[in-house]
Chains A and B, each alone.
Chain A
Amino acid sequence: MKTQSTLKSLLALALLASVASGSAEAKLNVITTIPDLRSITEEVAGDLVNVESLGRGTQDPHYIEAKPSYMLKVNKADLVISIGMELEIGWLPSILAGARNPKVNAGEKGNLEVGSSVEPLEVPKGNISRADGDVHPAGNPHVTLDPIRAGEIAQKIAARLGELDPPNAAKYEAGAKALVSRLTEKSRDWDSRIRKSGVTQVITYHKTLTYFLDRFKLENPAILEPKPGIPPTSGHIIDVIKLAKEKKIGLVLVENYFDPTVTTKIKQEVPGLRAVTVAVAVDGAPGVKKIDDVYEGLVKAIEGSK
């Protein structure tokens, strides 16, 4: 009897707590799904917001675990920024549901998906099937790897921050404009350096670098994964070796969260081919602290492959 009455009291406590809401803070709390979005938000907002990323630069953003501690962070958030395009579909919905923060539910002002605001690449046509691997119906979601699209994303973030915090809207807009200007200028330099390197074709592990390669007009004739999300097989690696020899491809870029040992056989079979592990996200390697560093690291990897 006593136990029942205690449990009833707990239920009443839960009901009471439901009407309590978090205290307001001067700075907006922003949570991003990946560190690239954290870096872009920092460029836009500076010290005006607190921003933290759930995912780390060393993690594959498709497969991050929905830790309950992330729910706690999202519970305190004013804005959650994600890529969308089904990049985080395996883990973000659980975090949003467990956070019990209606401000950041899908469709609310506190929930921003930026992927759909830029022009997508590799949008599948016709019937989509999981027999084709991890295909994203809305297109390749690794949009932040193009510096120009990253600038467009910055403007989208600035606009939403301005809606949530109107007194600082002009500062957010200015932050975004400064990033767009800087990335546009640097892109000219990166493009020039890539042209000078003589590299025109690159093999990658996954279709992570599609937007970067497209921006700088680099071909991607082979992927180490036989299909998106499917680990390399020995038969497929033999096909890649054949293609690399035929097309005289001299560079393999392995995204930092994949196992680089798969390239050992390719390096043995293709004389002069170089395989480089590259950071494809902020914090993906020591020294990659902001979004510019990601592109700079990729360009340096290409330049080193003359």
Chain B
Amino acid sequence: MFHSKRSLRPFVFVLVSVLVHSVSARAEVAGKPFNPDLSVNFLGLLRDSTNASENRSTAPYNGLSLQEAEIQFYSNVDAYLKAVALFSVAEDSGTWGIDPEEVYVETTSIPFVTFRGGKYKLALGKHNQLHTHAFPFIDAPLFQTKILGEEGLNATALGASLLVPLPWFSELTVQGFSLANEDLYNDPVASTSPPTGKTGFLARYRNLFEFGDDATLELGASASTGKNAFGLSTKLAGGDVTLKWRPAEGGKYHALIWNTEYLRAIRAGRTDPGGSGVNDEKIGGLASYVQLQFAERWWIQARAEILGAPHNEVEPVHTKQSGLLGFFPSEFSGFRLQYDHEVDHARPKPDHAVTLQYNVTIGAHPAHAY
């Protein structure tokens, strides 16, 4: 879960100090108007899976756990910039750690373009940009974790996002980023071997079309390249389509979302660590899901995934089907029950898993993207 382990004590001290200060400041209402908005989100799990054990040093494990806590600060810096600082607290192999998941500044005063600098989730597809508590399912899709790693493509970067002047919503995002993702740019055998390039590049183009007041169709395409440890390029390409329906009349009680996302990676020069001798690893994965809101606070969902599309020599085909029932008492809390059936051809038996998650947010949390 974490790139590095650190002692929690100094961070906890700083965070508690800031939390106490901020909470008391909010109680005074307008007394300290320049404090940033502060929110804490935390996710708890109760999990039972046929292929997992109760050994808490190997994730995922059966039983109760705190999946993650996120502490977010958000504020305008001045008349030109706003800033976000989001820290993630989670357990990795039995050890707790805290990481700066996203810390960035963004322009607010330039027409048509937003510039963003700092460390953040890059605009590779749709799912990669989501925080854990905003995932449509309890877990990330296979293509995300198996290709990009547990943390996804999250790096120190500088980017620009242009609102293209067209009659419909059309946005072009370009980003230059550090090649810090070990799954993509390092040699899996000699993990200390650094990437040979300094900066990777990424572009995403997305368009959204409206069908009356009730429905939208979003189409996105992303591509990225960066020099890896072998002096060759690791290339990523993906596409996503999202259809949303929420009627303008009765929309409090009914909605439908369908999303499909595909991601493909070519890690040139990478030799199969399993010893097959295959070079230039190519791997692709697809996930498709439907979410149906059938009452004011209830959702039912289904997801199908495949990793190994097209099939490659290194990774055996891996499939997964999931079903989810969600209950949201308010916009600040939710309970989700998910069933997964997963077939990994590298393992002798399919996995059946049932997971219950609670998802709670306190404080002033900014709205999620559409």
Contact = CB atoms under 8 A, between A and B. Distances in A.
A69 B296 CA distance: 25
Interface in B137-193: 160-163, 165, 168-169, 171-172, 174, 176
Interface string A83-116: 0000000110110011111100101000000000
Interface stretch (A10-18, A170-178, A292-300): A10-18
Interface of B: 27, 29, 79, 82, 108-115, 160-163, 165, 168-169, 171-172, 174, 176, 201-203, 208, 210, 213, 216, 218, 223, 225, 233, 235, 246, 248-253, 296-297, 330-332, 362, 366-367, 369-370
A8 B29 CA distance: 46
Contacts of A18: 110-113, 115, 160, 162
A58 B29 contact: no
B77 to A, nearest CB: 13
A146 B223 CA distance: 53
15 contacts: A7-B174, A7-B202, A8-B201, A13-B162, A15-B160, A17-B112, A18-B112, A58-B251, A67-B216, A67-B370, A68-B169, A68-B171, A68-B370, A69-B208, A130-B330
Most B-side CB within 10 Å, residue of A15, A17, A97, A127:
A17
A268 interface: no
A254 to B, nearest CB: 13
Given A94-B367, A100-B113, A127 B27 contact: yes
Given A59-B251, A127-B27, A17 B162 contact: yes
Interface in A49-98: 56, 58-60, 63, 65-69, 71-72, 75, 90-91, 93-94, 97-98
Given A4-B201, A75-B163, A93-B366, A14 B169 contact: no
Given A18-B112, A56-B213, A97-B108, A68 B330 contact: no
A140 B189 CA distance: 62
Contacts of A134: 330
B367 A66 contact: yes
B223 A3 contact: yes
A14 B172 contact: yes
A100 B112 contact: yes
A18 B115 CA distance: 10
Contacts of B370: 65-68, 94
A58 B249 contact: yes
A191 interface: no
A242 to B, nearest CB: 25
A235 B108 CA distance: 48
Contacts of B203: 7, 10
Contact of B108 (A63, A68, A91, A105): A105
A277 B141 CA distance: 44
A205 B108 CA distance: 39
A70 to B, nearest CB: 9
A32 B79 CA distance: 23
Nearest to B367: A94
A230 interface: yes
Interface string A196-232: 0000000000000000000000000000000001110
A246 B79 CA distance: 57
A258 B366 contact: no
Given A65-B246, A72-B169, A94-B367, A14 B162 contact: yes
Contacts of B171: 68
A86 to B, nearest CB: 10
Contacts of A7: 174, 176, 201-203, 225
A246 to B, nearest CB: 29
B248 A11 contact: no
B332 to A, nearest CB: 6
A20 B250 CA distance: 41
Contact of A71 (B82, B111, B169): B169
Nearest to A75: B163
Nearest to B109: A102
A163 interface: no
Contacts of B169: 68-69, 71-72
B70 to A, nearest CB: 18
Interface string A10-51: 110111011011100000000000000000000000000000
